[in-house]
Amino acid sequence: MEKVTADQAKTRLPSISLSPKKTRAVAPSVSSVRKRNLIGYIFILPWLIGFVGLIAGPLLFSLFASFTDYNITSKMNFIGLENYKRMFTLDDMFWTALWNTLYYVIFSVPLTTAGAIMIAVLLNQQVKGMKVFRTIYYLPSILSGVAVYFLWMQLLSPSTGLVNQFLHIFGIEGPSWLFDPNWTKPALILMKMWSVGGGMLLYLGRMQGISPSLYEAADLDGASGFRKFFHITLPMITPIIFFDIITSTIGSFQIFQEAYVMTQNGQGGPGNSLLFYNLHMWNNAFKSFDMGYASAMAWFLFIIIMALTFTNLKVGKKWVYYDGGDDK
């Protein structure tokens, strides 16, 4: 048997390196990057087509139309700021429609928000059969709009409506509601509060996500139910309140169907008391075919909503509390 010396063994055995191998990162080629980008654009192409054709395109067209006397059939003649001048100085119904809309927004948004919170607090109790009550309160928010409007026209009937009959039990003479200019807008606000189930569901979901340890600590300190609501529940649901106020404000400014269905031929009810901004804009666009003026009205409404939304976003930083911190 051949004798192998130590030096010979070293030369025969492969050297094993214990240090990790350094791998050089290979940058992707330009062609592969372009290929991946192309695949991504192909996947979002349906959305891009819809955005350009259904949102961006009509948006830019309406902006240009607001500076013309466009009426669908005639050529679009550029007239500058004449439509906006007419809006503020010549159209008396513009200010009526704007006031009616502001009235509806100022009263409906706080009342529906407060109503949704109160119902959510009641439905958050651990009571047997609570799921049935939650379903009952949520059902009005999923009913068809037009059907609900006809239902409320019957309920608010001055002579045979169930609302006035209920008030008559307590010796109260009910108003004429949709036939009295002083009560038409409160009637619509009452109808709006009947369908606060959507907002209630948001608040209920947030309340059930509040840590029970907060309430247990409050119980140890002897806090009452009202103190627990105002110092625990209310601060913890402020993000939902903030979201609800913004979306409700935008939706209230766009009120249209109620006034169009519940007034004769969409004229705005008795004394133009239900001539809301969108209804007046719709009448100018599709009854008078004054598309240029209607486009100017639409852009003015857009500016109002954007200004209020921006203000809410700025003010919301001072009173909205987030679990993960205030900088959201």
What is the average per-residue pLDDT within 199-225?
Answer: 91
Task: Note the pTM of the prediction, 2 decimals.
Answer: 0.84
Assign 244 to helix, strand or coil. Answer: helix
Q: What is the 3-state secondary structure (H, E, C) of 20-60?
A: CCCCCCCCCCHHHHHHHHHHHHHHHHHHHHHHHHHHHHHHH
Assign 68 to helix, strand or coil. Answer: strand
pLDDT tens per residue across span 140-198: 888 877 888 999 999 999 988 999 999 999 999 989 999 999 999 999 999 999 989 88
Question: What are phi and psi for residue 158, nearest 5 degrees?
Answer: -60, -35
CA distances from 154 to 138, 158, 313 (A): 22, 9, 40
* Banded pLDDT at 21 (limits 50, 70, 90): low
pLDDT at position 206 is 92
* Banded pLDDT at 1 (limits 50, 70, 90): very low
Dist CA 210 CA 304 (whole Å) = 35
pLDDT tens per residue across span 29-41: 778 888 888 998 9
Least confident of 24-33, 51-60, 111-120: 24-33
